């Protein structure tokens, strides 16, 4: 995607923010097929909300479901998934989420990228914000803020913070989170 704007909040436990690259709508998929793709029945999907693929560099198929418990039940059916994405030349991921009072409860499956499930997907969260605002699943005005909880089902609970600037993110969508340092190193190049 090239350069991506990043900023770090000041403070004892700063949040690192990135500005989501431009988001592109790729296509819409049949709701019944998307429900089957994640091992659910179509009545579990949020009414009147399509299943769409959006990309800010990596394509994600967004599947909105009725509640967090349904998100936890989701299981990627590889046969249905491969059938749905067989025409796509770019690896595609699946993002299942339920709207909540504070934002979204989410899971991301990326088998074509070698990721069975990801605990925190910043590259999906900007498109998620646009999707939620577009379909009335999150407040849509300038300054919209919410949290996407992800990784809970896999035992790696993560929180990604979203700040939408301008109507429908016209002035940018920032995604932020805390990081846990797991290693530190110094490289000397001679």
The tens digit of pLDDT for each residue in 85-133 reads 999 889 999 999 999 999 999 999 999 999 999 999 999 999 999 999 9
**Are the CB atoms for 123 and 177 separated by under 8 Å?**
no
Residue 96 pLDDT: 98
163: Cβ contacts below 8 Å, ≥ 6 apart = 17, 143, 144, 145, 173, 174, 176
Least confident of 5-19, 26-40, 148-162: 5-19
φ, ψ for residue 118, nearest 5 deg: -110, 135
Is a pLDDT exceeding 80 seen at residue 1? no
**What count of other Cβ atoms lies within 10 Å of the Cβ of residue 5?**
11
For the full predicted model, state whether its pTM sits above 0.95.
no
**Are the CB atoms for 86 and 59 separated by under 8 Å?**
no
| Domain at 6-177: CATH code | 3.10.310.10
Encode pLDDT of 31-76 as tens digits.
999 999 999 999 999 999 999 999 999 999 999 999 999 999 999 9
The domain segmentation of the chain, as residue ranges, is: 6-177
């Amino acid at each position: 995607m090239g350069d991506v704007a990043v900023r770090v909040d000041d403070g004892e436990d700063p949040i690192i923010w990135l500005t989501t690259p431009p988001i592109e709508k790729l296509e819409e998929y049949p709701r019944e097929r998307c429900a089957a793709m994640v091992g659910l029945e179509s009545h579990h999907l949020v009414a009147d909300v399509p299943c769409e693929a959006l990309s800010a560099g990596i394509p994600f198929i967004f599947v909105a479901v009725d509640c967090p418990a349904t998100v936890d039940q989701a299981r990627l059916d590889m046969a249905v998934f491969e059938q749905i994405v067989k025409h796509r030349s770019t690896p595609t991921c699946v993002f299942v989420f339920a709207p909540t009072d504070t934002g979204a409860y989410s899971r991301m499956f990326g088998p074509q990228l070698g990721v069975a499930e990801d605990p925190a997907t910043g590259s999906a969260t900007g498109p998620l914000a646009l999707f939620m605002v577009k379909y009335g699943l999150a407040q849509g005005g300038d300054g919209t803020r919410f949290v996407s909880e992800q990784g809970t089902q896999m035992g790696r609970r993560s929180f990604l913070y979203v700040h939408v600037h301008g109507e429908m993110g016209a002035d940018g969508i920032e995604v932020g989170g805390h990081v846990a340092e797991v290693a530190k190193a110094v490289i000397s190049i001679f």
